[in-house]
Amino acid sequence: VDISVTLAGVPLTSCVYNASGPRTGSSAAMSKIAKSASGGVLAKSATIASQKGNDLPRTWHEDNGKASLNSEGLPNSGIDYYIDPKTISETMGESPTKPYMVSISGKNIADNLQMLQKISSTIESGSVNIAAVELNLACPNIVGKPTIGYDFEQMEDVMKQVASLPCFSGSKPLFPLGVKMPPYFDRPHFEMAAAILNKYKHIVSYAASINTIGNALAIDYHAEMPVIRAKGGFAGLSGPAVKYTALANVKQMRELLDNSIDVVGAGGVQTGRDAFEMILCGATAVQVGTCHWTEGPGCFDRICDELKAIMKDKGYGNVEDFRGKLKEWS
């Protein structure tokens, strides 16, 4: 069975790959993803300058593994590191067989525009292979900043200004652009978010749903304190606990977005069955975040093997055979 797909025009040997965030901060960590069955390598969301992130403790995993929290606060090495030919060759090896992608999460619109310009210049110089860029509209952990994807006015403004950059003003974007979306919970919000992305479909190649469910709170019962230090303990919720919200977001986005925009499923995927369900709901590819964090890069080999076994069992030869084919009750 064949689990390869084309995402945003980029061929992936496997439809399962890593989410930005866990184990994606350095070339040493990312090279392990490159060596695994992951369909690609997506770097940690970058800011203009490197930053340390929030004070510890900033991550937590529930004992039963069903939920995780993070308030990392965007620790990263800065955009220059993630687009440096040295970082990319250390990550991918000398003859890469899969795509390398970067994620950006600027402190403000100007920073996102500046990072996109830097990426454009680097791509135009021909010195590196960057297959796609993910614009993170959904980080919940920055003190004093709203989640952009929940502020539709700001989201529209971001898309408008990005679309006016030289790299997107030609007949075809210089590189495929994806957006990482926060989870929505109400139909009108899905409709508003999708309407903005559809308006900018000439520059948006995929939408990845979902980032973590923001501002969750876990309590240390013994200490009678939040488990996380920053932001009063409010942090992004991930892991199996968010899978059902993620499936719904993938289904809604696939229904509402123009067909030219691919949907990437993310949120609580830890088995081949989870990936299969995401694809049934319309996902072109599936990102794995928390499971990669807790299990390590071996998770990509396991999840791909499990997905292949399910497809074989059901008689599906490739991903298109069941993508978006969730049946309806009569």
Residues within the interface to ligand RRO (CB under 6 A): 21, 45, 70-74, 105, 136, 138-139, 141, 211-212, 236
Could you tell me which residues are beta bridge partners of residue 103?
Answer: 134
Inter-CA distances, 165 with 78, 162, 168, 185, 202, Å: 21, 5, 6, 32, 13
The residues, ordered by sequence, that sit 6+ positions from 295 with a Cβ below 8 Å of its Cβ are 270, 302
Contact of 181 with 211, CB cutoff 8 Å: yes
CB of 38 to ligand RRO, least distance (A): 19
In the complex with ligand RRO, the residue whose CB is nearer, 112 or 136, is 136
Query: CA angle, corner 139, sides to 274 and 102, nearest 5?
Result: 75
CB of 58 to ligand RRO, least distance (A): 8
In the complex with ligand RRO, the residue whose CB is nearer, 193 or 311, is 193
For tokens 């898309």, what's the residue? 159
Inter-CA distances, 236 with 138, 148, 191, 315, Å: 10, 15, 23, 38
Inter-CA distances, 39 with 17, 125, 240, 266, Å: 5, 26, 22, 14
Closest CB to ligand RRO: residue number: 236
Omega before residue 210 within 30° of 0, cis: yes
Residue 139 annotated among the catalytic residues of the structure:
yes
In the complex with ligand RRO, the residue whose CB is nearer, 87 or 103, is 103
- Which stretches within the chain are classed as H helix? 27-35, 79-82, 85-92, 109-125, 152-163, 166-169, 187-199, 243-256, 272-280, 290-295, 298-314
In the complex with ligand RRO, the residue whose CB is nearer, 83 or 216, is 216
CB of 319 to ligand RRO, least distance (A): 26
**Cα separation of 120 and 118, whole Å?**
5
In the complex with ligand RRO, the residue whose CB is nearer, 39 or 73, is 73
CB of 191 to ligand RRO, least distance (A): 23
**Cα separation of 169 and 14, whole Å?**
31
The one catalytic residue in 15, 139, 291, 299 is 139
CB of 72 to ligand RRO, least distance (A): 3
Inter-CA distances, 221 with 102, 214, 241, 310, Å: 39, 21, 20, 40
In the complex with ligand RRO, the residue whose CB is nearer, 92 or 242, is 242
CB of 105 to ligand RRO, least distance (A): 5
Q: Which residues are tagged catalytic?
A: 139
